[in-house]
A and B are shown apart, each in its own frame.
Chain A
Amino acid sequence: MPATPRRRVAVTGLGVVSCCGIGNDAFFAGLAAPAPEGEHRVHDFDPSAWFDVKQARRADRFQQFSVASAQMALDDAGDISIDPARAGVIFGTGVGGLETLQEQITVLISKGPRRVSPFLVPMMMANAGAAAISMRFGWRGPCETVVTACAAGTQATGNAARLVASGRCEAVITGGAEAAMAGIGLAAFANMTALSSSGTSRPFDRRRDGFVIAEGGAALVLEDLDRALARGAHVYAEVLGSASTADAHHITAPAPGGTGALACMELALEDAGVTAADVAHINAHGTSTPLNDLAEAEAITKLFGIPGPPVTSIKGVTGHSLGAAGAIEAACCALTIDRQLIPPTAGLEELDPEMHLDVVTGSPRSLGAGVVLSNSFGFGGHNGCLVLAPLSFRDPGGAGSTDSRTGN
């Protein structure tokens, strides 16, 4: 097969809705602050900033997070003036409109089938977020939803980057959103013993006892690099590559020894055309569950040795927002690269003695030269890894030009 040139992919816009802050500055500052107390909801999210009353009533909270983060990201990207046919939306979610579904099941039981809202389907469907984004901005290229549990935001971003790299799209709004903190969601995660009984997210800590469920959303505008440079856009980072694999092992437990995570990280580095030695930082999945963190730590050590590059899990602050997590973390990686600062891992007091990682704790650490790897692993055995880098990594003397590596 002849090598297909692939375009370079720039991150030119970011928008974040997180329990530690709404908007890029508040979010990134929040990552270096103590974790929010109590439930990790986005308490200060006000839909009226993005929707009129009627629109807000017709949009599930996860859809509101989707549109709000996309709007912020597109505003951040500046004047993108794009051919709508070559503008795409690839968004992730874990479950879609769970709050609406729960509410309408209550209506069904208490008032009967004739009272179930005609808006239930367009509010609960997992693709409602992506659809709402494409409608709001009139983007008529591919509009798809990735539903791979906690890997959704990362895999969506990887898929979106390929649409830009292949030339199908000039720009794609990607990311993910989740609002699954309805009673049914909380009970279901609690009863599978996935949630922290102490209510504290402690990634990689010896005393970690489960994840702290959260909600939120994040969006990234991915754009053809040459186009972005030509219009003078600010480029936060370049998406160098990604990978998506499956454990094919167990519906909730990671493959022993982190073999699935390891394979995915290796493939992502290969896709990016870099080696383990090029990795300056890993933004870990680090959920604070006993099984995930151990498997991920083993995989990182197998690939990078001891101590390996500095690792952080922002879930110590953000908690775990499921299908939004990978998108929030991709946005974090872009900000980490842009600001040359690695946020610390909150909640980690005593590293699990079985792990041999250099985890960033306490205060932010300067980012060294190289690429940043972001990991996400989801129930179902879904693995997603992204590789981002500053523009200067590939092009120390200035940026631009087509990538000569083979697309896939």
Chain B
Amino acid sequence: MDNEAAFDKFKSCAVEVLQVPAEKITLEAKFTEDLEADSLEVVELVMALEEAFDITVEESELDGVDTVGKAFDLVTSKL
């Protein structure tokens, strides 16, 4: 899967779980400030990503992951 296809998939998960417009899902977007996602919603997003990409993310790996870009890097590092 190339990077663009992976980000499209990431984006569709985020749109579905966080109920935000696709154009707000940018690499720089912060979950709390820009996407109005609280910690439980980030957990739910990670679960959706685990399922979509068939990966496993440990809770400890989420420390400091506060932007879409960091989350996306975490996902792609496991592909």
Contacts and interface: CB of A to CB of B under 8 A. Distances in A.
The finding on whether chains A and B are genuine partners in a shared complex, rather than unrelated, reads yes
A54 B18 CA distance: 7
A137 interface: no
Interface string B29-61: 000000000001001100100110000100000
B19 interface: yes
A57 B40 contact: no
Main DSSP-derived SS at the B contact region: helix
Interface of B: 18-19, 40, 43-44, 47, 50-51, 56
Nearest to B39: A118
B26 to A, nearest CB: 19
Interface string A111-125: 000110111001000
Nearest to B57: A114
Interface of A: 52-54, 57, 114-115, 117-119, 122
Contact of B51 (A54, A115, A117): A115
5 contacts: A52-B19, A53-B19, A54-B18, A114-B50, A114-B56
A93 B31 CA distance: 34
Contacts of B47: 114-115, 117-118
B19 A119 contact: no
A130 B51 CA distance: 34
Nearest to A121: B40
B40 A118 contact: yes
A87 B3 CA distance: 53
A57 B17 CA distance: 9
Contacts of B50: 114
Nearest to A122: B40
Nearest to A56: B19
B44 A118 contact: yes
A114 to B, nearest CB: 7
Instruction: Name the residue in A53, A54, A117 with the highest tally of chain B Cβ atoms < 10 Å from its Cβ.
Output: A54
Contacts of B56: 114
A396 B56 CA distance: 72
A119 B51 contact: no
Contact of A118 (B18, B43, B51): B43
A117 B44 CA distance: 7
A119 B18 contact: no
B75 to A, nearest CB: 16
Contacts of A115: 47, 51
Nearest to B44: A118
A119 B51 CA distance: 17
Contacts of B43: 118
A99 B44 CA distance: 19
